A and B are shown apart, each in its own frame.
Chain A
Amino acid sequence: MANSKKLFSKKNVGVWIFLGVALVVAVLLGVFVSPFASSRPDGLERVAEDKGFIKKAEDTEPAWKHSPMPDYTVKSVKNEKVSTALSGFIGVLLTAAVGVALALGIMGLGILSKKKKTPPESTGNAP
C-alpha cells in the first residue's frame, strides 16, 4: 500500500490511473445506466405495499424537507431520464467529495492527536 509521502511519485501513476478509471466508471453508471434502472418498488416498499403499512410513510411529513433532488430527480429538468442522469452525475461527484473530505478530516484528527501526545513525553511526565 502506497503511503502518503510517495503517493504523488511517478511510481504511483498506476494507482491514480486506476482511481481515475474507477471514478469514470461510477460517473458513467450514474449518468447513463441509472435512467434505465427498474422503477418497480424495491424489496421494502413492496413488502410495505403488500402488508399495508406503506401509508405510514405516505402520511408522515418527511423530517428533512430540504433535499434538493428528492427521488433522484432535478425539479427544473422536465425530461425524466435526463433528470435522473443529472442527479446521478451530481450525486456521484458529491459522494466522492464528501468521502474524501471525511477521510482528510479523519487524517487531520489523527495528526492532531499525535501532536497532543508528544509534549508530555518530552518533559518526562508521560505515564
Chain B
Amino acid sequence: MHIPDGFLDPKTWGALYGVSGGTTAYALHKVKDRLEGVKIPLIGITAAFIFAAQMLNFPVAGGTSGHYVGAILACVLLGPWEGFLTMVVVLLVQGLFFADGGLTALGANVFNMAIVGGLLSYFLLTLAKKPLAKRIDEKRSLLICTAFFSWFSVVLAASACAIELAISGTVPLSVTLPAMAGVHVLIGIGEAIIGTIVVAVVLQARPDLVDAYRGAPSLPLEATPEVT
C-alpha cells in the first residue's frame, strides 16, 4: 500500500511528514541510550528480511495481490521504537532506490505502515497480550496476539490510507474506505500467517531475541505514539 506521488495533496502529505518526522526524532531520542549489543545487527537483519518479504506479492481475490508489511513483526522482535525505526529504513530504501512509494508520500507511508500499522497496532497488542498471558502460557498468547494484530494492523493502515486519500480530495471516503478496508481484510490474512510463522520460529530458535517475550528484558511502551 505504498502511496505514489500525486495521490495526496500538499497539506496532507506535508502534515504527515511532520507527524512522521516528529515520531522519528522521538524514537531516536528514545532508543539512543539503550541501543547496543545484538540489537544492532538484528535491526539490519530484520529490515533486510522485511524488505525481501515485501517483494513477495501473493494473489488474493479479484485480480489483486497483497504483500507483507511486517511492522508488527519488527516491533515484536525489536521493541516498538526500534521496530518503528526499522520500518523507516525499509520505506526509505524502497522509496529512494526502487521508486516504491513517492518521495512526497514518504511521510504518509511511514505514518500508515510504521506508526498506525506499527507503533499503534503494537501498543494494542501489548494491551491484549497481558490478560491473555494469564489464562494461557505467554508463548501462545504472544503468537495469538501476533496473528490477530498482524491482520488488524494491515486493515488499520489501509483505512488510514483511505482517510488520507479522502482528505486530499482524491476520492470520497464513502468510496475508498470500504474498498481499501475490504481488500486488506484479505491481504491481512497473509500478514497474519507470515508474521506468526516468523515469530514462532524465532521463539523456538532464540527466544532471547524476541523483545515482546518475557525473559528478554522488557521494553515497556512508556508513552503512546504522537498520533493525533
Interface of B is mostly: helix
Indicate whether A13 reaches chain B with its CB closer than 8 angstroms: no
Q: Which of A42, A47, A48 has the most CB of B within 10 A?
A: A47
CB distance from A9 to the nearest CB of B (A): 12
Contacts of B131 in A (CB 8 A): none
Contacts A23-B48, A40-B65 given; does A30 touch B55 at CB 8 Å: yes
Q: CB within 8 Å of B: which of A29-77? A: 29-30, 33-34, 37-44, 46-48, 50-51, 53, 56-64, 66-72
Q: CB within 8 Å of A: which of B45-87? A: 45-53, 55-59, 62-67, 85-86
**Contact B55–A64 (Cβ < 8 Å):** no
Contacts of B57 in A (CB 8 A): 37-40, 42
Indicate whether A119 reaches chain B with its CB closer than 8 angstroms: no
Which of under 10, 10 to 19, 20 to 34, or 35 or more describes the interface residues of B?
Answer: 35 or more
Q: Name the one of A3, A18, A29, A114 contacting B37, with C-beta atoms under 8 angstroms.
A: A3
Contacts A34-B56, A51-B171, A62-B102 given; does A3 touch B36 at CB 8 Å: yes
Q: CB within 8 Å of A: which of B114-136? A: none
CA distance A58 to B5 in the complex (A): 9
Q: Which residue in chain B gives the minimum CB-CB distance to A14?
A: B206
**Contact A64–B103 (Cβ < 8 Å):** yes
**Contact A103–B43 (Cβ < 8 Å):** yes
Indicate whether B148 reaches chain A with its CB closer than 8 angstroms: no
B196-228: contact bitstring with A at CB < 8 Å (1 yes, 0 no)?
Answer: 000000000110110000001100000000000
CB distance from B57 to the nearest CB of A (A): 4
CA distance A88 to B53 in the complex (A): 10
Contacts of A64 in B (CB 8 A): 95-96, 99, 102-103
CA distance A64 to B99 in the complex (A): 8
Contacts of B41 in A (CB 8 A): 19, 100, 103
